[in-house]
Amino acid sequence: MNVLSFHLKGKMAHFRRYYSNSSALSYTIPPRTTIIGITAGLLGYPRDSYYEAFSKDQCKVAVSVRAPIKKQIQKLNLLMVKTPNDLNGSQEYHSQTATEIVLPQNIRTGCIDYQIWLSHQDQSIMDRLHSFISGPGYITKGTSVSLGTAQHLGWVEDGQALEGEKSEEGLAEIHSVIPSRKLIKIDFSNPSSDYRLFKEDMPLEFDKERKLVDKENMLINVHSSPVRAHVTDFVRLSNGEIITWME
């Protein structure tokens, strides 16, 4: 199995929960749907044209937190838009919206760092993506990288191609987030384990009408260390990392 690995970095992120209404809450990590959107943007796919090409059957994705992060809620004074004329900001009233922002532990010196692993059945897509992310910088054929919204600019680093071998049920040091449907048991026997675990219900796939197709609870360690766990299946990579796909 061919797998591409790269790091998605930035200073701030906001991955809005799809069900948020009056408040703009954020996921701790980019959902699978966000990651394939970023990937499709790098490859030059038009908006909303890539859902079938990057479906769960075609494209496998994993993600991990590689630097400690935290969340803060800020009140943003947004435009209250009821008619097109309100877009110029001349209306008397605004909408104060509580917005959750993902930040590094130290905003002055730190960065958000997510490691992404991706494997697509179409080798031409893998080759094109590898050519974009494997240099000292990165190239995009479409949109620039952002961590959720346009103002939260990001960048890609450390792109590389790896080989992966799928293994069945077993105990392993999992470097990525773990879907609940694959988790059997967490091993807490090592007293030196650095865990701060969260579980979040995240979207996995939308259809071309932008309707939710599938979602799953993800176990996330925001302290960035691997989680020793018994899982139903995992992928062992050629660099020694072990991941579980978001599916």
| DSSP string of 43-62, one letter each residue | HTPPTT--TTTT-TTTEEEE
Q: Which helix (H) or strand (E) holds 64?
A: strand 59-65
Q: pTM for this structure?
A: 0.89
What domain range includes position 217? Answer: 2-77+96-243
Whole-number pLDDT of residue 22 = 66
Whole-number pLDDT of residue 115 = 97
- Domain membership of residue 116 (yes or no) is yes
- Domain membership of residue 236 (yes or no) is yes
Whole-number pLDDT of residue 87 = 72
* Upper half-sphere CA count for residue 182 (Cβ side, 13 Å): 25
- Domain membership of residue 37 (yes or no) is yes
Tokens read off for 101: 């922002």
For residues 115-128, one letter each, b for 16 or more C-beta atoms within 10 angstroms of the residue's C-beta and e for the rest, the string is: bbbbbbeeeebbee
- Domain membership of residue 89 (yes or no) is no
- Domain membership of residue 10 (yes or no) is yes
List phi, psi (to 5°) of 212.
Answer: -65, 125
CA pair distance 30, 65, nearest whole angstrom:
10
Give the count of domains, the chain. Answer: 1
Mean pLDDT by 10 residues, the chain (247 residues): 95 87 85 94 89 93 94 80 73 76 90 96 94 79 81 89 95 96 92 85 88 92 90 96 96
CATH number reported for the structural domain that contains residue 128 in this entry: 3.30.70.2660
Whole-number pLDDT of residue 76 = 76
- Domain membership of residue 82 (yes or no) is no
- Domain membership of residue 39 (yes or no) is yes
- Domain membership of residue 35 (yes or no) is yes
For residue 223, give Cα distances in angstroms to 56, 124, 128, 150, 226: 28, 35, 33, 27, 9
